[in-house]
Structure 1
Amino acid sequence: MKSAPPPPPRAFGTLVLLAALLALVVASFASLPLQWAAFLTPEALGSAAEFLSGFTPPETDPAFLAKTGSALWETLAMSLVGTLLAAAGGMALALPAAGRAGAALRGITRVLLNILRSIPELVWAALLLVAAGLGPFAGTLALAAHTSGVLGRLFADALENTEPLPEASLRTNGASALAAFLYATLPQALPQMLSYTLYRWENNIRAAAVLGVVGAGGLGQMLKYHLSLFQMQSAATVVLAMLLLVAAVDAASFLLRRALTR
């Protein structure tokens, strides 16, 4: 009976990387003044219970519920329009980022995508509020700017990972570059692109609910307003509306992704 072959030797670089990551985790915990025991003191538990009790019962006045519903729709519209704009912008940037316009333009576009996605939505909103003013327009543009960087990078990677032989075969048989791309390469990457877009829509729902903190409208702006006035019951209704909206969009996105992968 033959013995099992010895396991392959681990690369030295991999061991060094794992050791560096472990050292970083240990240093992170050691450098932060984490006081875990303070969360379990009677004073902390009593303060938390008193704070949470102020949120009950949620505000159920019909006029306030109608106002909350309007803000909910505004948040949903911000996330949807921002995601659609980002999908269009990401696709436009993905083509040169995938190397279809030369190596130089590929590098420039990749740098631009890095800049777009490295700036958080809140920072984009704070910058765009100066130009666009308070309201959902600035929030929509902020979502579109950040998500364009994310989707552009994901779309470019999806295009680069497609099988090049079908497009090359069409070009060899006389098809134009655009026709070969549309009929051979894009259908390979399109399901993955749609899945990425739906996933980012889920994320943008949460981001749109938070952008109101800086005055970008929607549920976030309502939440900031009522919390600043210590109207906890009204704030509880807004938080519940956020949870329902996120759950509904998550469910819709899951069903759409499952339908696309069948």
Structure 2
Amino acid sequence: MHRLTSQHGLDMPAIGLGTWPMTGAECTRAVHQALELGYRHIDTATAYDNEAAVGQALRDSPVAREQIHLTTKVWWDRLTPTAMRQSLEDSLRALGTEQVDLFHIHWPGKDWDLARSIDTLVALRDEGKARCIGVANFPLGLLRQVAEELGAPLSAIQVEYHALLDQQPLLDYARQHGMALTAYTPLARGRVAEQQVIRDIAAKHGALPSQVALKWLLDQDGVAVIPKASSEHNQLSNLAALQVQLDDQDRALIAALPKDQRVVNPEFAPDWNS
């Protein structure tokens, strides 16, 4: 399995299993199955309401916990120091582990004390509750503030990223500052695979459109992907994306696709251009 490493100790498989919106028995089954198939990177969050289900799969699996990269996140309305600490304690209890491998602030807060939240994030890392820390859904200006002004030892940023959404400025910054970038919604909820250009490239290589879309991301230095997949067929298909060999012509065609199609944009989202 191809792995990403970054500063501050991150060592993460490039392909992970995204678990939203799976819950309950469906989530437990999917995570357990993914571990059987070779996945070693599981992504969850408090807001997904499935940490207990993920934890059950981890307990049921013969794969040792130390072989699994586990990411979770604290929701944007729990970013005071006390609430953040309680959120991570709740997550650890639900997941049945003493430490997560990567702990993200899931979204920027509203009218929050950014410095205190980041100080708490760093403290949780220093206390061993999280091996590495990062942020998700932070626009470039805010990421720069956290990394440069506050000096937080971030290992990763997680954002929506796919062939129909440009994230080059964030990716460039992440690379310059030793962070990995995890692409969520890497298939744009099916939109990428509907593109004729992607379908033509897939046919050329005897691959699936989804595999082309994932490999385009995986070929980029420092990028991981966490597609959600519940069936064995889709989980195996996503892993097999690593075997697709795109060429420069393929990449040029994908680069020419529109890059302004954001899928995830809730009412509490930040100003993406800030």
TM-score band, normalised by shorter chain: under 0.3
- Which structure carries more helix by proportion? 1
- Which structure carries more strand by proportion? 2
Higher relative contact order (CA 8 A, sep 6+): 1
Query: TM-score w.r.t. structure 2 length?
Result: 0.22
Query: TM-score w.r.t. structure 1 length?
Result: 0.23
Q: Which has the larger radius of gyration?
A: 1
